[in-house]
Structure 1
Amino acid sequence: MSPDLEREKLLRRLATLPPERRAALRTALLGGREQRTWPLSTGQERLWFLQRFDPDDCAYHITWPVRLRGPVDETALAAAFTAIAARHEVLRTRFVLDGDLPAQVVDEPGEVRLDRLDPASADIGRAVAGYAGRPFDLAAAPAWRAGLLRLAADDAVLCIVLHHIVVDHWSLDVLMRELGECYRAHREGRPPRLDELPMQYRDYAVAERRRAEEGRDHLDYWTGRLAGAPPLDLPLDHPRPARWTGRGAKAAVAVPDADVTGLEAVARAHRATPFMALLAAWQVTLGASAGQDDFCVGVPVAGRDRPELAPLIGYFSTTLVARAELSGDPAFGELLRRTRVGTMKALAHAGTSLDRILGALRVPRDLSRPPLCQAMFNLTHNLPTGDLLRTELGDLAVEVCPQPDLGRARVEVSLDVYRGPEGIGGWLEYSTDLFDAATAHRLAEAFARVVTLAGGDPGLRLSELGAAVRN
């Protein structure tokens, strides 16, 4: 049996042990000493360095505000969060320097208190944005908080804010599922009915770093694939600042259902997925705008490739790098074929952190722009949302509130879209240091035109699609 299979078998056996047996085993393995610090995962380490670079940056805050209709039991709500934080160590974790390296420290379980948002604010969105935009001190306290905005006796907004270093978007579904069960359990005077977790996030971080150190994370593939990739140089409205600030804004993106349906039919005909077709359309848009046929686009993926990771709260998502292959003025159908092949290979070699790739490529340090990927693309389509979009919490009705715009951008331009019954919707997030709002709106409209034209005729060449982008 291979070492990987033996390790997976051992993890499954350990997951079946009662908590007290696991604690005793850990103590025995450590010679009677409890380990005080744990390494960060490679993804966490990148976010930790970014936070040290700019402690006030809230670009990596994940916010989930929901409207609660009915008599909110604040005691039960706080008790539910307390139970969840006791269950998931990552919600009790601080990030400190241990010598010259960052490390995570897991605090003992304690009571979670709800913050009270200012009820005097007449603008819910402004109150939520103000609460979400407060920076975290990662060394002093756990990297999340929850606050309640009371609007009336039977009307309130619950705002959950978490730093990306402890969660990803998959985690939100887990969090809301457990919040619903723990809230009901406290109201009914019973223990929550939740399965024992198979592991904790720190266990994953240790194993992930071991895989990287042993060279089992496909680094050679990525260095070969991405060597020599040039930066994306979109035409700018303003001179590039000497240092990246992360200031940003959003422009709405919309593509009608009929046009999206046409592109989806083209994708099926070329044995591709809608994600691949939309990624190709975004690459066409960027390439035509920049006058380039070679550049990279970052694509977030869930990173939960093993079933025991599914019930955990933590930061598992990673960034795949899609290198555009627009050379030779191919028809859109040919570009889609290239995109399909490239995406399949990238997924087969997933699991390597972007930081390891950057280090191996020796990408020159440029404080004025994000490294390697100046653009991102995300189609929200394969993440669990059944509990995230829940409509009840115990005896309370739940409505999802609009996401606050914190005025931040993680890269120069990022397209974040979803497929709904009316077509494609979403946002184009952009750096306001580089682009005016009018430019961002034109880029969003150009993407919609490419989707429409390519869906109507995949035989159109990129030069023809590019002319539509520039007009």
Structure 2
Amino acid sequence: MTAGGPDAVERRAALLARLAELPPERREALRARTLGGAAQASRSWPLSHGQERLWFLNRFDPADTSYNTPWCVRLRGAVDAGAIAAALTRVAERHHVLRARFLSADGGPVQTVGPAGPVPLELAEVAGDPAPAVVEFVNRPFDLETGPPLRAALMRLEDGDALLCIVLHHIVVDGWSLDVLMRELAECYAAGREGREPVLEELPLQYTDFAAEDRERDRTAQLEYWTRTLAGVPVLHLPADLPRPARRTGQGGQVPLLVPGEALDRLEKAARQGRCTLFMALLAAYQAALGLLAGQDDLCVGVPVAGRTRTELAPLIGYFSTTLALRADLSGDPPFSELLGRTRASLLRGMQHADAPFEQVLGALRLPRDLSRPPLFQAMFNLHNMPKDDLLRPTMGDLAVEVYPMPATGRTRAEVSVDAWRTAEGLGGVLDYAADLFTAATARRFARAFTTVVERAGADPGLRLSELGDL
């Protein structure tokens, strides 16, 4: 029979039918192995706007690990290291961005996708407190040009438990992505232990497709809003203990903060009366505290948002999040209730224009270059929406899982940054601070200033800003 005869046609049809029955990620892995990775490795994609800024920051200071994104869990039970490594490999097969390399080209940075292959899992025996080993593992720099932006370690502990530590560079991941990662990792691990194929939804596109689309979108209207709103915004001048260095190092510290449940409930009640959310009220309280500390009635606070504006982006791992630069108007020593209304309006308008990446906003503003401080805003605020079902999952296959609280890594991206979350006891959180500028004692004073405003504003939202703190 010739190559084009009936038998060949039947064999080809049968092969295509068998291929069609394979899960999408297995089809992609087979394609990559068949081509030896050449098809993907020889192709390049642009970086999204968010990725491009992180790439420039990495090139500017390759040793800076501020953008390393860790997630660690304690595993109890008979941990199968081989099944964990295989599960990580399956997730990296599905999400091409986890195999990306970031290269410098004539027209600017590009990303390529390496062939699918085993994801290394480092194994270690840890005696005593595992925190130092975790911090060392998290703080290793990534070489974005030659190595994958993902690494993982399994640390066996003295009590028989194990820590699974996963670290990704922020250029390929955001907070939402960690939830996706843990959901798929748990399913792939369970499937491997049970001898079955994992049940995973087909991905509608890859992050590289999104990045290419991101570069083509016209955001003129959004950028006009931000340049108009942020024109002339001053830097935040918090009272510092140390001389400002000519170039910030990213060295940081961390102090805890806590708002009792009764005080948080009162603030939330005041927020509802003003048609506001708890997040709006906490952000207003943070703005008020910063203004009182700095003696300013005009300042800017960065607020992270998910940036996934289309449903098909929900199942992807990648860097979609962006940061809204929200300008606070504290002029006239208003009552807290009035500030809350201003904050609500500012946030809602910002969300309407959130499609403009922070990096493009920075470019449009043409701010003077200043290596001594973060651009545009020096303070950040984030209220985490807990729980996240997959990040806080209690099991992974036949293992019991418990989140391992990350020890302070000694790095920070802002001069002051509050990360808060609601607990059964009230509001828990941490205040990260730039160790180049502030001592731990001053950072604790900043944290108390914020919690004091929360408590007093909740008790009486009619108090003016000047009456909200003894700073």
The answer to whether the superposition gives a TM-score over 0.5 is yes
- Cα displacement (A) at 1:209: 1.1
Match of 1:459 in 2: 462
Match of 2:133 in 1: 127
Match of 1:12 in 2: none
Which of 230, 238, 244 is 1:240 aligned to?
Answer: 244
Which of 149, 174, 193 is 2:199 aligned to?
Answer: 193
Q: Does 1:52 align with 2:59?
A: yes
- Cα displacement (A) at 1:144: 1.0
Cα distance in 2 for residues equivalent to 1:289 and 1:89: 46
Contact 1:293 1:325 in 2 (8 A): yes
SS at match of 1:324: strand
Contact 2:41 2:115 in 1 (8 A): no
- Cα displacement (A) at 1:217: 6.3
- Cα displacement (A) at 1:292: 0.3
Match of 2:20 in 1: none
Contact 2:126 2:133 in 1 (8 A): no
Match of 2:7 in 1: none
Which of 134, 159, 164 is 2:165 aligned to?
Answer: 159
- Cα displacement (A) at 1:152: 5.3
The one-letter code matched in structure 2 to 1:77 is I
SS at match of 2:298: coil
Cα distance in 1 for residues equivalent to 2:24 and 2:432: 46
Cα distance in 1 for residues equivalent to 2:196 and 2:298: 59
Which of 221, 225, 228 is 2:229 aligned to?
Answer: 225
Q: Does 1:78 align with 2:81?
A: no
Q: Does 1:255 align with 2:262?
A: no
Cα distance in 1 for residues equivalent to 2:91 and 2:177: 12
Contact 2:306 2:320 in 1 (8 A): yes
Which of 345, 348, 353 is 2:352 aligned to?
Answer: 348
SS at match of 1:280: helix
Which of 102, 106, 127 is 1:99 aligned to?
Answer: 106
Cα distance in 1 for residues equivalent to 2:59 and 2:453: 40
- Cα displacement (A) at 1:52: 1.1
Cα distance in 2 for residues equivalent to 1:186 and 1:418: 34
SS at match of 2:257: strand
- Cα displacement (A) at 1:35: 6.1
Q: Does 1:43 align with 2:50?
A: yes
- Cα displacement (A) at 1:151: 2.0
SS at match of 2:154: strand
Identity in percent: 58
- Cα displacement (A) at 1:356: 1.2
TM value normalised by structure 1: 0.90
Contact 1:94 1:139 in 2 (8 A): yes
Pairing of 1:11-410 with structure 2 (within 5 A): 36-117=43-124, 119-151=125-157, 154-211=160-217, 214-215=218-219, 218-381=222-385, 385-410=388-413
- Cα displacement (A) at 1:154: 4.6
Cα distance in 2 for residues equivalent to 1:191 and 1:292: 59
Q: Measured at CA, do residues 403 and 261 of structure 1 come closer, stay the same or move farther in structure 2, by a change above 3 Å?
A: same
Q: Does 1:443 align with 2:446?
A: yes
SS at match of 1:430: strand
Contact 1:58 1:406 in 2 (8 A): no
The one-letter code matched in structure 1 to 2:414 is V
Which structure is larger by alpha-carbon Rg, 1 or 2? 2
The one-letter code matched in structure 2 to 1:76 is A
Cα distance in 1 for residues equivalent to 2:175 and 2:184: 15
Contact 1:121 1:127 in 2 (8 A): no
- Cα displacement (A) at 1:389: 0.5
Q: Measured at CA, do residues 384 and 108 of structure 1 come closer, stay the same or move farther in structure 2, by a change above 3 Å?
A: farther
Cα distance in 2 for residues equivalent to 1:100 and 1:199: 25
Match of 1:425 in 2: 428
**Which structure 1 residue ranges, 5 or more long, are not aligned?**
1-16, 25-31
Cα distance in 2 for residues equivalent to 1:276 and 1:428: 18
Match of 1:13 in 2: none
Contact 1:259 1:455 in 2 (8 A): yes
Cα distance in 1 for residues equivalent to 2:128 and 2:466: 50
Superposed CA RMSD in Å reads 1.9
Contact 2:152 2:166 in 1 (8 A): yes
Cα distance in 2 for residues equivalent to 1:376 and 1:230: 15
- Cα displacement (A) at 1:419: 1.1
Matched length:
440
Contact 1:81 1:112 in 2 (8 A): yes
SS at match of 1:56: coil
Contact 1:295 1:324 in 2 (8 A): yes
